[in-house]
Amino acid sequence: MSSYKRKASVYLRTLEAPLELRLIDHRFQTVATGIGELRKKVPPGIYQIEVRAGNTKQREFIELKPGQSFEKTDIHLAFETTAPVPRAANSHEFHGYPAQKISREPNQTYGDGGRLVLIFRDTTSEGRSWLDISSYTLLNSALEPVGNLQTDTEKMDNFGFIALSADVSPGGYVLRNTLEWNSTGKRSADELPGGADLPIWVEEDWTTIVFIPGSRYRAVPLLRGASIHMARIWMGYSYDDGSDINTAVELTLSGLREGRTAISPEYLNAMLNAKYENPMLGIIGAQAMLLEPKPRWRLFDTVRRNLQKLVPNHPDVTALFVVGKGRRGNIARSRVAPVEFPPMMYAAYRGLIARDADEPGLIAGNSLADQAASRLYRQSPWSLWKPFEFSTETELDPELLENIAEVESMLLNPETPIAGDVARIWANVAAGTSAAGNLSDPEVQHVTKFIQQYSRQSRRGYSRKTPRSTVRLQDLSKQIGLPVSSVVRAIQTITEKGFRKDA
């Protein structure tokens, strides 16, 4: 073998946190990846080492000669996190220890049985920016105000730290920000028009801790950058417990925000084992496992069962159960109570909605989980939706959800009012006499947009005599991406109010 063809060996290891490593060749193709550590034999040549933590990157070029052994075991990257953790570049004792203290000593009482801690903090390295939370409101599961964040919070303006620690009744809460964009004065491409709502679940005897980041460039903190932790109610948040667990969580969340699930088996196992003190670690770790091509089902099932014992009412734990069943092709109906409050994690919420098509009623009709589904933003990793006024006055015919076969027959039978109206909708859309995209009701918008697209496809592949009202309710739910009850409600709205072209 010529010396040119002799491979070189590469060994990389990060100095502290479980950072993402990539080895890239001269064609800009990734030849090896690792979390915290990377070993690879490669042909000689020019390579690029990429180190990544969330959206923070650094790159370095190296030249490998035939037979060379290249080692670099002191790789360091100054990364930033939303929650204060000791190894992060933007971590400060004047944030970490106050967060720990206030989570153990509540300054407000709104109820009893659980605790909710909201911490708005400047996440720049200086940690001294002024924050504006005037656009924020805390709501209960009926979207009614709880307390007053403007007067109930403790503030350290010189250090960019604002916190609320309140004893509350267990259940669902919503944190609303009506100014969910990058700055207070300039609009940007990733702005969420109309603001955003973030669902927060508080379990009995547990504290839920939400960190929301702001900076000198963003006086208004952003919900979509949030980090959520849990702790036993008497323990609170642990700033520096001597482990890398919180760091691993923060880096995992940073990856999920960008659609990546990179986490080493070592740190995943550590996160899963730490779920007994912070169930969010188990929820985030199990959700990351579900996003893998080949989940480790035995480990997943063990984690899910343990979470069920720790936080039995948590909607994200219910979502793990039903989504896990779906991934394995189990079509049996889930023996769980209908979900009324949305899961906190976006992937869990979307998975629950998808499963509802096969199990109509899995998401309780007319609940917040039902009505928020049509307003979801495509943000990761948390569920965020466009704010709205929740109402339980809308009535659905209970027989529609109790007997899905009857609903399907109503859609398929051209003699029924609903099927007839669906047929008219399709005809109007096909003729171009109705503007589906201008309707104000988000659920109706989603349904009519699907009908519009389906009608165009039908015209391309079928004659005009082909019946168009031949799609099943389950198909509508799956393809539109809404719970069955939302689709039924949209059909009822169209039936009762007609399909109109907005002026």
Q: Do the beta carbons of residue 49 and residue 70 sit within 8 Å? A: no
147 with 193: CB under 8 angstroms? no
Which pTM value belongs to this model?
Answer: 0.80
Q: Is the same domain home to 119 and 233? A: yes
Classify residue 168: in a domain, yes or no.
yes
Domain co-membership, 240 together with 275 = no
Q: Residue 109 has what pLDDT?
A: 96
Q: How many domains does the chain have?
A: 4
**270 belongs to a structural domain:** yes
Q: What is the pLDDT of residue 268?
A: 65
pLDDT of res. 79? 75
Residues 283 and 218 in one domain: no
- Is residue 139 domain-resident? yes
Q: Are 216 and 126 in contact (CB under 8 A)?
A: yes
Q: Is 2 helix (H, G, I), strand (E, B) or coil?
A: coil
Residues 161 and 195 occupy one common structural domain? yes
- Dump the DSSP string for 9-47: EEEEEESSS--EEEEE-TTS-EEEEEESEEEEEE-SEEE
Domain finish residue from 220, 254, 288: 254
What local confidence, expressed as pLDDT, does residue 346 receive? Answer: 93
Position 97 in a domain: yes
Does residue 191 share a domain with residue 323? no
Q: Concatenate the DSSP letters of all residues of 314-365 into one string.
A: -HHHHHHHHHHHHHTT--SPP-SPPB-S--SBHHHHHHHHHHHTTSTTSBPT
User: What's the pLDDT at 357?
Assistant: 87
Q: Are residues 335 and 423 in the same domain?
A: no
In a domain, 145, yes or no: yes
The tens place of each residue's pLDDT in the chain, 503 residues long, gives: 444 568 999 999 887 667 788 899 988 999 998 878 899 999 999 999 999 876 678 899 999 999 999 999 988 887 777 888 877 777 777 788 888 899 999 999 999 999 999 999 888 755 556 788 999 999 999 999 999 999 999 888 667 889 999 999 999 999 999 988 644 444 444 556 679 999 999 999 999 999 998 876 678 898 988 999 999 999 888 877 655 667 777 777 776 766 666 555 665 666 666 666 788 888 988 888 887 788 889 888 988 999 999 999 999 999 999 999 988 888 888 888 999 999 999 999 999 999 998 888 899 988 999 999 999 998 778 999 999 887 665 555 544 444 445 545 554 555 555 555 555 655 555 555 544 434 567 887 787 777 666 555 554 554 444 444 445 677 778 888 899 888 878 777 766 655 444 43
In this structure, how many other beta carbons lie within 10 angstroms of the beta carbon of residue 195? 20
Structural domain including 473 reads 400-497
* Same domain membership, residue 235 and residue 176: yes
- 68 and 128 together in one domain: no
Regarding whether 144 and 248 lie in a shared domain, the answer is yes
Report how far residue 440's alpha carbon sits from residue 157's, in angstroms, rounded to the nearest whole number: 41
The CATH code of the domain that includes 98 is 2.60.40
- Answer yes or no: do 103 and 196 share one domain: yes
Return the beta strands (E) in 81-152 as ranges.
108-109, 114-122, 136-140
| pLDDT value of position 431 | 56
Instruction: Tell me whether residue 391 is in a domain.
Output: no
- Local structure of 405: helix, strand or coil: helix
Q: Answer yes or no: do 208 and 348 share one domain.
A: no
